[in-house]
A = this chain, B = another copy of it.
Amino acid sequence: MNRFGEMHCSIAQAVGVVAEPWTPLILRDLFLGLRRFDQLSEDLGISRNLLTQRLDRLQAAGVVEKVAYQRRPVRYEYHLTEAGRDIVPALITLMAWGDRWSTPPGGPPALLIHSCGEQFTPTVTCPHCGGPAGADTITMVAGPGAAQGPGTMVLAKPGQ
């Protein structure tokens, strides 16, 4: 766990696990179906020792699992766990932001197809009313676990 993981903030928690350099791209590749160390290494161009370290940390965080796919010699591949698959909505939301604000020449490199059959841009919504949830439609308030500490100046009440 790094220093972000110690902050009393769920964004910092998430960032501490999945926003280290390269990690979001490792997760994307695992989602897209790459499984093997050498595939990830080749696709991303990340140095191999760092890939080892990242996969270890993701495994420790319960986001990725290492599975032996053969014996003699033992060889492993990496899969997303449930927690890992659950990060996909955040990844595609980031992807939509990237498409919108750094328009690549020639159009978006990738598109999303929903199980309903439509190509779509993911939208973050409130499950009660179905309306969009964005900077203009939400308010963040202190929750039951609010505490003082780094990164909590706004929400934590003094003296708590």
**Contacts from A to B (Cβ < 8 Å):** 4-5, 7-15, 17-21, 24-25, 28-29, 31-34, 39, 42-45, 62, 80, 83, 85-102, 104-116, 118, 120-147, 150-155
Contacts and interface: CB of A to CB of B under 8 A. Distances in A.
Nearest to A19: B19
How many subunits of this chain does the assembly comprise?
Answer: 2
Given A111-B143, A116-B128, 11 more contacts: A8-B109, A11-B25, A11-B94, A19-B21, A104-B145, A106-B144, A107-B143, A107-B145, A111-B140, A111-B142, A113-B141
B114 A121 contact: no
Contacts of A96: 10
B34 A153 contact: yes
